[in-house]
Amino acid sequence: MTYTVVGTGGCPDATATRDVTVTAAPIAGTLSGTQNVCVGLTTTFSSTQTGGSWSSSNTSIATINSSTGVITGVAAGTATMTYTVTGTGGCPNATATRDVTVTAAVVSGTLSGTQNVCVGLTTTFSSTQTGGAWSSSNTSIATINGSTGVITGVAAGTATMTYTVTGTGGCPNATATRTVTVTAAPVSGTLSGTQNVCVGLTTTFSSTQTGGTWSSSNTAIATIN
């Protein structure tokens, strides 16, 4: 820049110069990154412009690493993340913002219910947490209704029932398990023996199945060992 004072009376002009440096305004770039995160988990924001630093509008909701952009969920809510590129040469700072929503982790609750069932019969499992779905690790042993938790014994053995509550807002699913033991129904076998006996005499009944006990419907008519 030149400053000129016009000379008079035959005097030349007087001039003085001074340089000025013009600096381009900084830009904060375009921000990106997953805007949902679970409490205790992380997500990362980034910018197309390097050299800036990150800050959080509410560190009780979410913190952010100033250099890497890694966000950690602290509590459920929404916070604004600001990316700032410092201005130089008389230019103001450039900023860009992006919101992050923090969601509380889901829980699967405490499971309960009778853990033994006979083949062909039912038992029911339940959870203190609603909104989940049930599944069986082995439907050839026991099936379970996905919504009601009603278990049906299919064959003797053990199966694990899983209760799953779907995670939202960046949170993983929550699961809880409980085993059920399915027992084959007992059989009484086929009975045989002479069905006629004289008062004071004996006859014997037997079964093809061992391990049972006998009883009489009327001991005044006939007793049985």
Tens digit of pLDDT for each residue in 137-177?
999 999 999 999 999 999 999 999 999 999 999 899 999 99
Rounded CA gap, 4 and 17, in Å?
9
Token pair listed for 141: 């042993």
Distance (Å) of CA 34 to CA 62, 69, 106: 14, 12, 19
Rounded CA gap, 148 and 126, in Å?
8
Tell me: pLDDT of 123 over 90: yes
Rounded CA gap, 48 and 100, in Å?
18
What does the pLDDT read at residue 136?
98
As a whole number, mean pLDDT of residues 51-79 equals 97
E strands, 18-145, are: 31-32, 36-38, 42-44, 46-47, 53-56, 62-64, 70-73, 77-85, 94-103, 111-112, 116-118, 122-124, 126-127, 133-136, 142-144
Give the confidence band of 23 by pLDDT, cuts at 50, 70, 90.
Answer: confident
What does the pLDDT read at residue 24?
81
pTM beyond cutoff 0.85: no
Tell me: pLDDT of 22 over 80: no
Token pair listed for 6: 């016009």
Give the confidence band of 89 by pLDDT, cuts at 50, 70, 90.
Answer: confident
What does the pLDDT read at residue 36?
96
H or E, element range at 151: strand 150-153
Bridge partners for 133 per DSSP: 164
Tell me: pLDDT of 52 over 80: yes
Token pair listed for 149: 């938790």
